[in-house]
């Protein structure tokens, strides 16, 4: 039994989305405020913590229609004309559809979920919806509260001799009313869905407004749900406050919880527990005797005050020894820091847990929670015996769903990777689990870490994509299930996966991506941004060096993600030589030259003629369907020493940079390619300079050239090559629009 996918509607930023679950780990990725937390909270609230809902969990743009329902209720004076159905409510209500794949041998678990007698096995669907408990009662409560506020306001105006009162009493709108009354008037209702009505479109399945919700919690006993929240506190090593002992993230706290549920010898003791219990009883007897002796003198002094006297009880001292008290202090867990040959020395040195690094504390805490979740599920140790209901004590849920939010807190890169590699193994480390199919575990992780994304099969990634706000609405998010993109077996997909594995998946968390040609651009473009377009420095931009012959392989992924993308590449003009082979040439117009750049030919702008590329308007270098633009060399005007102006067409990034900074390069000295470029700009004509640069670049070391340039000159003195400047200005415009769009109507993640 596995969860195949869930569909979320009207929950915060997630107006409507489908999230595919992988068989083992599913990882939520995406830029900040893209909806990952919304998805995790939707799962948590609907499946476990159902009392946490508030009005802010509705998609905010939906309140316009919900408030309209309230307005109509107020204005309608004939109660018989009021619509008491869910028809106007249902398209605005938060809901979670969960689809479970059931094998034939598991049908006995889901007898309450089978939609019809014709069901042939496979998928079963359940809708959990937050809706009014009783619309007539909601109407009555809202109308009473609203009328009361109106009457109070009108009464106050009479007392003030008709002077208008600007104060608005509660409730002004349905939103205002439900801020206080949501928990009283709303509840989670469960409906069975029809697998035959599943479509590829992410649209909620229609159910009749007269559908009767199920009376019982049909998922109880079917799915065990455990949660590790994102915000885990750890006590400060400099703080010894009483509250520090109760920090849920501490290992001491974890150990105490585990002990109480699985190990406590006082709970239905077994023969193996008797020895420990006898030792504690002997210690108690001995300690009580010592207490009696020690307090005897002090208690006898009470006799001077005539106590106990007549009719008053006497005082005796008796101890209570509880093993759990032995680890209820801040130094219960110690880390040994001095060992000899792997063994603790005769004079051990150790430190309390709060003196260990926060990263290790977090890692240990998370792993121990996973262990505890697994053992509770499998009813390991005393947890099996503590069940008061004997009919349920041996009943195991067939599915264990574990939700972990942002586990990367305080963890450095390598530990993040170790965690995600081992977490699922920990959850399956039981003899009843391992590779057995009787019980299923699914781990859901939300993260901002490219290191965690790197370790996961890309088909297990769910990318949360921010959408621009449409008129009158707020920005929302959708989900791109990358199983659809990376599930393909073609060579382009294989190359994209291999490439992303070398770049640590930055683009899954970026606001925008810049694809660049080579190492020189990778070194200098960030300096251009920092010095000349500082607005871009505050954006989360992923800079990927991939080259013109390979950038187009990322086209399916980038278009699927909808990322704002600038491709900085070279025009790469080529012509056939006398042996009919394509060779590089200096770009010129009207020569019938072609471009050897696959990105320009196969992606944007989809042309291979140098003349077409050079004559293209800048608006035509942007995709008509996606926020993607290409930037490549185009003609620039050069002022010669005799006062004339000549046009030159650069071939690559390096000669473009030189032509934009002629005066500077005439004064530079250096070695290798730097010297050749400096010599070239001092030629008599622009044509000679261009030819010398072209020849120098055939064998020149471009990365060394960029490093030497950074060493010799402050990058702010360098003018940006015109084609790159044009592209970066487009990127700035796109990101500024996105920023304004996002800030217009902020909503919880």
Span 21-46, mean pLDDT? 95
> 424 in a domain, yes or no?
no
pTM: 0.84
Q: How confident is the model at residue 716 (pLDDT cuts 50, 70, 90)?
A: low
- For the chain, helix (H) and strand (E) counts, in that order, are 21, 24
Q: How confident is the model at residue 235 (pLDDT cuts 50, 70, 90)?
A: very low
Alpha-carbon Rg for the chain, nearest whole angstrom, is: 35
Q: Quick check: helix, strand or coil at residue 257?
A: helix
DSSP class per residue in 621-638: GB-SSSSEEEE----EEE
Question: Within 10 A of 642 (CB to CB), how many other CB atoms are there?
Answer: 5
Span 224-241, mean pLDDT? 65
268 has pLDDT over 70: no
DSSP class per residue in 423-486: HHHHHT-STTSTT-SSSEEEEEEE---HHHHHHS-GGGEEEEEEPPPPTTS---EEEEETHHHH
Residues 416/449, Cβ–Cβ less than 8 Å: yes
> 39 in a domain, yes or no?
no
712 has pLDDT over 80: no
pLDDT for residue 413: 86
pLDDT for residue 351: 47
- What does the mean pLDDT of the chain come to? 85
> 538 in a domain, yes or no?
yes
* Of the ranges 160-169, 325-334, 532-541, the best mean pLDDT one: 532-541
> 227 in a domain, yes or no?
no
pLDDT for residue 708: 87
pLDDT for residue 724: 97
pLDDT for residue 237: 44
pLDDT for residue 495: 85
184 has pLDDT over 90: yes
- Residue bearing the bigger pLDDT, 726 or 279: 726
How far is residue 629's CA from residue 613's CA, in Å, rounded to a whole number? 14
Question: Within 10 A of 6 (CB to CB), how many other CB atoms are there?
Answer: 24
> 129 in a domain, yes or no?
yes
pLDDT for residue 240: 43
pLDDT for residue 241: 42
The residue among 162, 194, 216 that closes a domain is 216
- Residue bearing the bigger pLDDT, 412 or 148: 148
Domain span at residue 137?
2-21+49-216
pLDDT for residue 565: 97
Residues 235/250, Cβ–Cβ less than 8 Å: yes
* Domain count of the fold of the chain: 2
Strand partners, 576: 582
The residue among 216, 243, 259 that closes a domain is 216
pLDDT for residue 287: 77
> 622 in a domain, yes or no?
yes
> 71 in a domain, yes or no?
yes
- Residue bearing the bigger pLDDT, 668 or 300: 668
Name the percent of the chain lying above pLDDT 70.
Answer: 80
Q: How confident is the model at residue 255 (pLDDT cuts 50, 70, 90)?
A: low
The residue among 180, 201, 216 that closes a domain is 216
- Tens of pLDDT, residues 191-228: 999 999 888 777 788 898 888 999 888 999 999 999 99
Q: How confident is the model at residue 435 (pLDDT cuts 50, 70, 90)?
A: confident
pLDDT for residue 298: 60
- Tens of pLDDT, residues 482-536: 988 888 878 888 888 888 888 768 899 999 999 999 999 999 999 999 989 999 9
- Tens of pLDDT, residues 42-55: 999 999 999 999 99
434 has pLDDT over 70: yes
343 has pLDDT over 90: no
406 has pLDDT over 70: yes
473 has pLDDT over 80: no
- Tens of pLDDT, residues 593-630: 999 999 999 999 999 999 999 999 999 999 999 999 99
How far is residue 180's CA from residue 626's CA, in Å, rounded to a whole number? 43
């Amino acid at each position: 039994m596995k969860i195949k996918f869930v569909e979320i509607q009207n929950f915060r930023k997630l107006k409507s989305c489908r999230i595919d679950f992988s068989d083992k780990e599913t990882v939520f990725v995406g830029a900040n405020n893209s909806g990952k937390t919304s998805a995790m909270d939707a799962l948590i609230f609907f499946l476990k913590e159902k009392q946490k809902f508030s009005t802010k969990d509705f998609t905010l743009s939906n309140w316009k229609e919900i408030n309209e329902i309230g307005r109509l209720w107020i204005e309608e004076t004939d109660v018989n004309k009021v619509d008491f159905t869910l028809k106007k409510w249902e398209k605005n209500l938060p809901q979670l559809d969960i689809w479970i794949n059931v094998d034939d041998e598991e049908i006995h678990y889901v007898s309450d979920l089978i939609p019809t007698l014709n069901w042939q096995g496979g998928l079963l669907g359940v809708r959990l919806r937050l809706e009014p408990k009783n619309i007539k009662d909601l109407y009555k409560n809202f109308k009473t509260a609203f009328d009361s506020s109106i009457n109070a306001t009108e009464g106050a105006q009479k007392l003030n001799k008709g002077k208008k009162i600007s104060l608005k009493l509660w409730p002004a709108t349905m939103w205002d009313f439900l801020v206080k009354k949501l928990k009283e008037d709303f509840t989670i209702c469960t409906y069975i869905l029809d697998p035959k009505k599943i479509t590829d479109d992410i649209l909620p399945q229609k159910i009749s407004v007269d559908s009767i919700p199920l009376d019982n919690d049909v998922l109880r006993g079917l799915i065990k749900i455990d949660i590790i929240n994102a915000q885990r506190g750890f006590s400060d090593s400099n703080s010894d406050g009483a509250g520090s002992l109760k920090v849920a993230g501490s290992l001491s706290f974890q150990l105490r919880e585990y002990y109480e549920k699985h190990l406590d010898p006082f709970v239905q003791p077994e023969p193996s527990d008797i020895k420990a219990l006898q030792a504690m009883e002997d210690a108690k007897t001995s300690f009580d005797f010592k207490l009696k002796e020690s307090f005897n003198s002090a208690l006898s002094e009470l006799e001077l005050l005539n106590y106990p006297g007549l009719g008053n009880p006497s005082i005796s001292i008796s101890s209570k020894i509880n093993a759990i008290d032995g680890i209820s202090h801040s130094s219960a867990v110690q880390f040994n820091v001095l060992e000899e040959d792997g063994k603790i020395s005769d004079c051990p040195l150790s430190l309390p847990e709060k003196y260990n690094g926060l990263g290790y504390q977090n890692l240990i805490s998370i792993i121990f929670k996973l262990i505890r979740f697994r053992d509770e599920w499998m009813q390991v140790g005393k947890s099996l015996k503590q069940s008061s209901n004997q009919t349920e004590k041996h009943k195991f849920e067939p599915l264990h769903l574990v939700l972990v939010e942002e586990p990367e807190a305080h963890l450095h890169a390598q530990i993040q990777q170790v965690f995600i590699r081992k977490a699922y193994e920990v959850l399956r480390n039981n003899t009843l689990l391992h590779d057995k199919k009787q019980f299923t575990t699914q781990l859901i992780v939300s993260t901002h870490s490219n290191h965690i994304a790197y370790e996961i099969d890309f088909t297990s990634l769910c990318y949360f994509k921010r959408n621009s706000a449409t008129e009158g609405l707020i920005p929302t998010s959708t989900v791109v299930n990358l199983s659809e993109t990376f599930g393909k077996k073609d060579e382009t997909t294989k190359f994209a996966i291999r490439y992303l594995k070398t770049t640590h998946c930055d683009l899954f968390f970026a606001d925008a991506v810049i694809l660049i040609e080579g190492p020189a651009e990778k070194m200098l473009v960030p300096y251009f941004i920092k010095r000349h377009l500082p607005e871009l420095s505050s954006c989360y931009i992923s800079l990927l060096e991939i080259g013109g012959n390979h950038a187009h392989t990322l086209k399916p992924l980038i278009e699927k993600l909808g990322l704002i993308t600038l491709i900085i590449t070279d025009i790469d003009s080529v012509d056939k030589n006398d042996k009919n082979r394509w060779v590089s040439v200096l770009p010129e117009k009207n020569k019938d030259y072609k471009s050897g750049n696959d990105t320009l030919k196969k992606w944007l702008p989809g042309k291979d003629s140098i003349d077409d590329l050079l004559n293209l308007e800048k608006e035509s270098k942007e995709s008509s369907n996606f926020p993607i633009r290409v930037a490549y060399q185009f003609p620039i005007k050069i002022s010669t020493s005799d006062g004339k102006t000549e046009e030159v067409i650069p071939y690559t990034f390096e000669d473009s940079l030189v032509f934009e900074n002629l005066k500077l390069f005439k004064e530079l000295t250096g070695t290798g390619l730097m010297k050749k470029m400096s010599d070239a700009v001092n030629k008599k004509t622009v044509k000679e300079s261009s030819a010398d640069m072209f020849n120098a670049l055939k064998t020149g070391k471009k990365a060394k050239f960029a490093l030497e340039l950074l060493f010799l000159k402050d990058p702010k003195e360098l003018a940006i090559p015109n084609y790159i400047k044009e592209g970066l200005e487009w990127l700035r415009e796109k990101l500024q629009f996105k920023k304004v769009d996002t800030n217009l109507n902020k909503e919880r993640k």
